[in-house]
Amino acid sequence: MPQMNIVQAVNNALREEMRRDDRVVILGEDVGRNGGVFRCTEGLIDEFPDRVFDTPLAEGGIIGTAIGMALYGLRPVPEIQFLDFIYSAFDQIVSEAAKMRYRSGGQYTVPMVIRTPYGGGIKGGHYHSQSTEAYFCHTPGLKVVVPSTPYDTKGLLTSAIRDPDPVMFLEPKKIYRAFRDEVPEGDLTVPLGKAAVRREGKDVSLFAWGYMTHVCLEAAKRAAEKGWECDVVDLRTLVPFDIDAVLDSVKKTGRAVVVYEAAKTGGFGAEISAQIAERAIEYLRSPILRVAGFDTPFPYTLEDVYMPNADRVFAAIQKAMSF
């Protein structure tokens, strides 16, 4: 079984879906000959010269065009180079793509996947490092998916492309090439809306997605040295998110720490926390804790301070265990 990093898993999923379904098309800035800014689409234009399109630097145009393609029967996969650049297309996404099924009474859907890298960790500064998934999680009609491993990247992206509704597919660029996993060739799907327990534990539940899953696993190893076993739950899909997996974990441990890169106020971790408080407060043995970014623009020189790390997560574990 081949070893792939996340970039290679994206490329493999796109290639295999384009071979399987001639309705799948790719468009975006430099996605053709250049293979995209992170080379996720490298080589695809050679095999599919009529279905990979370089576009002008106009995010609103990219997404608007993709919506039209989807309405006419194609399955477009537009790429936005960085999540930070997506806001000129925000109206197209939340006012058109997300609402088309509802406004047409189910007559039309928009089967498209918007791929975009998100998050910090590459010294990109405040215009290339944001984690603003909560904007899209707040919009009914959109699915929001965030993989954390190469295996899940291929499986979730394949499922997203086959989904009948618009999907935001956010790729954690910090770990694009950080490690490799075994990823099977051929058909591989991972269902949307199902979390994965990355580490079993009975003392504290850690909830995360994307790169923060790996931060939590590192903190969990440190906690194990003190005899505290952490249940590390990788949500994988934020909308819809696996509330059953979250509640099962909290009922087992009685303690919850939610970890995310975004600014703390209004981040999606607040929704996870609220759901736990509403549905499982009688199981809690300590307050729900959040470890997140700060309520400031993303800094350049203080990137390592802004982003949650294993030290900050371990401190939250200690606080929960000593309550």
- Residue pLDDT, tens place only, 166-212: 999 999 999 999 999 999 999 999 999 999 999 999 999 999 999 99
Q: What is the pLDDT of residue 13?
A: 98
Compute the average pLDDT of residues 3-28.
98
pLDDT at residue 282, as a whole number: 97
Round to the nearest angstrom and report the end-to-end CA distance of the chain. 46
Active-site entry in 126, 128, 138, 214:
128
What domains does the chain contain, in order, with CATH numbers? 3-182 (3.40.50.970), 196-321 (3.40.50.920)
What is residue 152's predicted lDDT score, i.e. its pLDDT?
Answer: 98
For residue 214, pLDDT over 90 is answered with yes
Looking at residue 1, what is its pLDDT?
Answer: 85
* Rounded Cα gap, residues 239 and 7, in angstroms: 23
Contact yes or no for 91/126 (Cβ under 8 A): no
pLDDT tens-place string over residues 98-114: 999 999 999 999 999 99
| Predicted confidence (pLDDT) per residue in 116-134, tens digit | 999 999 889 899 999 999 9
pTM of this prediction exceeds 0.85: yes
Respond yes or no: is residue 128 known to be catalytic: yes
Q: Categorize the per-residue pLDDT at 29 as very low, low, confident or very high, splitting at 50, 70 and 90.
A: very high
CB 251 within 8 A of CB 267: no
Vertex 22, ends 20 and 25: CA angle to 5°? 110
